Amino acid sequence: MSIGATHIDHVVIRSSDAAATAAHFSRLLDAPIRRRMTRPGTGAHLEFMKFGEIILEFAGPPQPAEGEPRAELAGFVLCVRDIHAAVRRLRELGYSVGDPKPAVQPGAAIATVRSGTHGVPFAIMQYGVYPTPTPREGEQR
Amino acid sequence: MKLLKIDHVGIVVRDLQEALATYERNFGLKADPSRGGEVPALGIRNAFVPVGESDLEFIQPTTDQGPVAEFARERGEGQFLLSLAVDDLQAAVQHLRALGYRVSDPNNGIAFVSPRATHGVNLQLVQRG
């Protein structure tokens, strides 16, 4: 039985200095940074690039650590058709899964699968769960 | 250098068949039987699980040598590399080398960017087709 995964929505790179690592990857890969933001609640600094259908998310502390930036792959997020059904299914299988909550992506809900993923921090996500505000002119999503 | 998409996410696992069974049984993600297998030159066996336009690559070390075995020894299972598809691998390698980055020679349509050039992230470039 499936959780209804449609694609990888984003891959996370955790860095001691997310802005520096994102800028470095932008130069390295000749690709633009599409969005920058502070995560509500934690204050984490986030920057985003996009390749095909997948977002590359750079996540770091509110204030960059001193010294040379150090980064590592830190998980991925699968898009599912129905996040509530997927969470129910995974809980039936014995997985510890968080309740769906608003993601930083507008209108999206996200739930973290806490174990049983062969070492990969893993979350599931569904767009269009919550109402989204109308983007202001010139605002990038 | 033209990047086409994220080709795949590489995940190191202890037991390839067990990982594939978990992802198929519990998440509904099934390996493509036409790809993957033993790769003695890299000391691995692997399998690709399509998810949308990309794949998850599950990688099991088959020797004690090499970066995959080293990763497994030091960190156990986990996300190992990010693979980006490019339209022209030779051109991409030349472009990155011209910028001063260390990149391996292309081999079987694949090249690796030195982690020193990526703040520590294992980055692979691949040309399909």
Q: Which domain, by its residues, includes B105?
A: 3-126
CA–CA separation, A3 and A90 (whole Å) = 8
CA–CA dist A113, A72 (Å, integer):
20
Mean pLDDT for chain A overall: 92
Nearest Cβ partner of B119 from A21, A29, A121? A21
Q: Does residue B68 belong to the interface with chain A, where contact is any CB pair within 8 Å?
A: no
CATH number at residue B47: 3.10.180.10
For the domain bounded by A5-126, which CATH number is listed? 3.10.180.10
d(CA A6, CA A67): 39
pLDDT at residue A132, rounded to an integer: 75
Predicted local distance difference test score (pLDDT) of residue A84: 97
At A138 the pLDDT is: 57
Interface contact A27, partner B, CB < 8 A: yes
Check if A130 contacts B (Cβ < 8 Å).
no
ipTM of this predicted structure = 0.94
Nearest-neighbour CA in chain A from B56: distance (Å)? 9
Token pair 């809900």 is found at: A109
Q: Who among A54, A69, A118 is closest to B22 (CB)?
A: A118
What is the tens place of the pLDDT at every residue in B52-81? 999 999 999 999 999 999 999 999 999 999
pTM summary value = 0.92
- What is residue B1's predicted lDDT score, i.e. its pLDDT? 81
Residues of B in contact with A10 (CB under 8 A): none
* CA distances in angstroms from A91 to A10, B18, B65, listed in the order given: 23, 20, 38
Sign, CA torsion B35/B127/A121/A109 = negative
DSSP string, A46-61: EEEEEETTEEEEEEE-
Number of domains composing chain B: 1
> How many CB pairs below 8 A link A and B?
117
pLDDT per residue as tens digits for the range A62-116? 999 899 999 999 999 999 999 999 999 999 999 999 999 999 888 999 999 988 9
